[in-house]
Structure 1
C-alpha cells in the first residue's frame, strides 16, 4: 500500500491518495477517505445490491474483528479471506480491533490480552490469536492490536498503561507478522494512544516508529459509540496538534469513531486522512435522516422542521461490572442537530422527500410520511431507506471536502455547516 500526499492546504488539511494494494492493484482511493463501516462483514441494513445502488465506486470496508472473531475458523477453512467469504471481493477491506460505532466497556484489558465484546460475551484475545485471526481473514490492511479505551477523565496511571500495552502488542504483532507466510506483506497500521496526555502520546510515537508500519491510527480520545459524538474540540486540539506534528508526513493518519460533521472537518484541517461511516449508521439506527449541508454548492439549507429533542439514550455495551451491580443502564446525551427525527408524528402526512434536492434512491422514490410509517410499524425497510440516504449523503460530503481542500474552501464549508447548526438551535 502506498500513500501519496498531493496537496497540503494552508490549514494543514491534506489531499492525497492510497494505491498499490496487492489484491486490487488498480485501485486508487482519494483522501480524505471515508471507510464504509460494516458489522459481520456487511454494511448494516444493506445487501450487496442495495449498496451498489448507493455507490458503485471503489470503496474500503472497515471490518471490526469484534464482529468477526467468532467466525474466523470458518473463514480460515474457506481459505480465500473475508472479502470473498462475504461476497465482496471487489471491495478493499481493512480489519480493525473494536467496533467504533458501539461503546467499548472500559478497564477490561489484561497484561497480555485485550477484551472483545462479542454477541456471546467477553472474549480475551492475545497477540498470537490476533495475528491468527488476521491470517484467516486475509485483509488488505489491518490495525495492530491496541489498548485504547481511555477518555479525558482517565487517570495518568491508566493512560500510561494503555501506552505500555499498545507498544508491547504492536511489537509482538510486528514480529509475528514477519514470520507469517500469509500476511508478512500485508500493511499494518500502528495505534497512537496516550489519552489527553501529550507526553505519553509523544512517547508512544517514539516507540512506534521503529516497527516500520504503514500508517497510524489515532486512538484513546473516546471509547467508541456515542461518546465520540460528544468530544470537546477545545480539549482535543492541543493534544492532536502535538501528536500529528510528530508523525511522519508520508504515512496516512486514521481516526475511528462517529464524530460529528463539524468536528470531522476540524480533524481534517489538522491533517487526518481517513475516517469511518459510523456516524451516518448511528443516525439511521435512531430513526434519523441526515439533512446538514454536505457541499458548498448546495442551495438554501434552512430547515424549518422542529429540532429533534436532545435526549439520553442507553449505550449499547456489555459490561460484567454492571451486571454485578444490578445491570444499571448507562446513559449518554445525543445531540441530533444534524438530522430529522423521522419517527416524529409531525411527518405522518409529510409528502416531501427526506431531504429536498437529494438524489439518493430513498429521496427519489419515497416520502417522509412513508418512511415514518415504516419506522412506526417496525418494518425492516425503514432502516434500509434511512441507511441508503445517510450513507449517500456522507459519501458526497467527503467528495465536497476533497473539492474544498483543492480550492482552499474548507473553512467556508465548515462555516456553512456551523451556520446551519446555530440556526437550528435558535
Structure 2
C-alpha cells in the first residue's frame, strides 16, 4: 500500500490524497460503506459501485463466526467470495467484542460466547491477524480494546497500554506483505493517553493509523476534541482513519482536523428505517406528509432512485413493507455520502474546504 498526499487545505488541516492498494486506488478523504457479513445490506456489489464506492469494509469477528475464514480462503479470498473486485478493509473485531454482553478481556485476549452456538470463543492479536490474512483484505486492522464512554482514567490507562502491547503482537504475527496493517490509537477522552498511544504506535511504523474508541456515546463536541488532539501525533505521510464515525457533520468536522478515511453502518441502517439524507437534512419517508409528494427524495441528487422514483412511491413501498423500499433507500443514502465526499475532495483541491463545510452544514442542519 502507498499513500500520496496531494494537497493541503489553506484554512484547515483537511488533506487530499490517494491510497494505492493491490485492488485499486482510493481517493481520499473517503467514506467506506460497511458490508459486515461480506454483503452490503439491500445492495448488490454493482449498485455499490454505481453509487460511487471505492472501498468497502467487512468484519473479521462476524466472518470468523460465520461462514469461517477457512471457507472464504478456499473460495479464493474475500474479494472473489463476495464478488467485489475493489479494495476491502477488514476490522479486527475489537469493537464487536466491546459491544458483546458477558465478554471477558484478559492480557492474552478476549473470551466471549459464539452468538449462534453459545460455545466459548477466544480471540487474541495473533488470531485476529491470521483470520484477516486468510480473508485476503487489502487493509487489515490491529486487534485493540475499545474503551467504553464514560470511563475512569485508571481503567483507560491500563486498557490503552494493553492496546499498545497487542499492536506489537499483531505486527509480529503478520506474514503477508500484500496487506497493510493499521495500528489503532485508543485512550478514551484523555489527551495524554491518546498522545502516548499514538507516539508508541508511530514508533512501530505502521503503514496507516486509525483513531478508535470514538462514536461510543461521547457526542460531537468531545469527538472533535479527541480527533483534534490525536491527529497531530500521526505522521503526515500515512493515511488516517477515524473508525465508526458516520453522520455528515461528524465527517466534515473530522476532515477539517486531518482525517482521510471513514466508515459507518448509518447510511444503510437509516435507509432500512425510511430515514433518508438530503442536502436539506434528514427526512422520514413513513411520515404521512410524503404520501402525495411526487418530488424525488432530493431534487438535486443524481442517484438511480432520485432519477426514477418519487417520495410518494417510496412512502408506499415502506407502508407495504416491500423489500424494494430498503434497496432504493440504501442506494440513495450511500450515493449521498459518496457524493458528499467527492465534493469534499474537490473543495480541498480548490482550497475552499472551510467555505464548503460552512455552506453544507448551514443547509443540512437547517432541516435536521
After superposition, the Cα gap between the structure-2 partners of 1:47 and 1:116, relative to the gap in structure 1 and judged at 3 Å, is farther
Q: 1:392-407 counterparts in 2 under 5 A? A: 392-407=335-350
Correspondence 1:110 to 2:106: yes
SS in 2 for 1:94: strand
Q: Which runs of 5+ in 2 are unaligned?
A: none
Residue pair 1:100, 1:256 contacting (<8 A) in 2 also: no
After superposition, what is the alpha-carbon deviation per residue over 1:106-152, rounded to whole angstroms, capped at 9, x for unaligned? 8833322136786426743112321221221011111111112332x
Deviation, structure 1 residue 17:
0.9
Deviation, structure 1 residue 277:
4.5
Match for residue 191 of structure 1? 184
Match for residue 318 of structure 2? 375
Residue pair 1:37, 1:61 contacting (<8 A) in 2 also: yes
Choose 411-420 or 155-164, whichever is displaced more: 411-420
Match for residue 262 of structure 2? 275
Match for residue 162 of structure 1? 159
Pick from 47, 50, 53: which aligns with 2:47?
50
Q: 1:20-419 counterparts in 2 under 5 A? A: 21=21, 23-24=22-23, 27-55=24-52, 59-70=54-65, 71-78=68-75, 80-88=76-84, 90-98=85-93, 104-105=99-100, 108=103, 109-114=105-110, 119-120=115-116, 123-151=121-149, 153-177=150-174, 180=175, 183-223=176-216, 227=217, 231-233=219-221, 235-292=222-279, 301=280, 338-419=281-362
How many angstroms apart in 1 are the aligned matches of 2:86 and 2:96? 21
After superposition, the CA RMSD in angstroms is 2.4
Deviation, structure 1 residue 258:
3.8
Deviation, structure 1 residue 175:
0.8
How many angstroms apart in 1 are the aligned matches of 2:106 and 2:113? 14
SS in 1 for 2:367: helix
Q: Which runs of 5+ in 1 are unaligned?
A: 293-300, 302-337
Deviation, structure 1 residue 363:
1.1
After superposition, the Cα gap between the structure-2 partners of 1:289 and 1:102, relative to the gap in structure 1 and judged at 3 Å, is farther
Q: What count of residue pairs does the alignment treat as equivalent?
A: 362
Match for residue 6 of structure 2? 6
How many angstroms apart in 1 are the aligned matches of 2:78 and 2:96? 20
After superposition, what is the alpha-carbon deviation per residue over 1:14-67, rounded to whole angstroms, capped at 9, x for unaligned? 111112x2x33xx32211012121121111111233334434x6x111111122
How many angstroms apart in 2 are the aligned matches of 1:386 and 1:352? 15
Choose 207-216 or 377-386, whichever is displaced more: 207-216
Deviation, structure 1 residue 393:
1.2
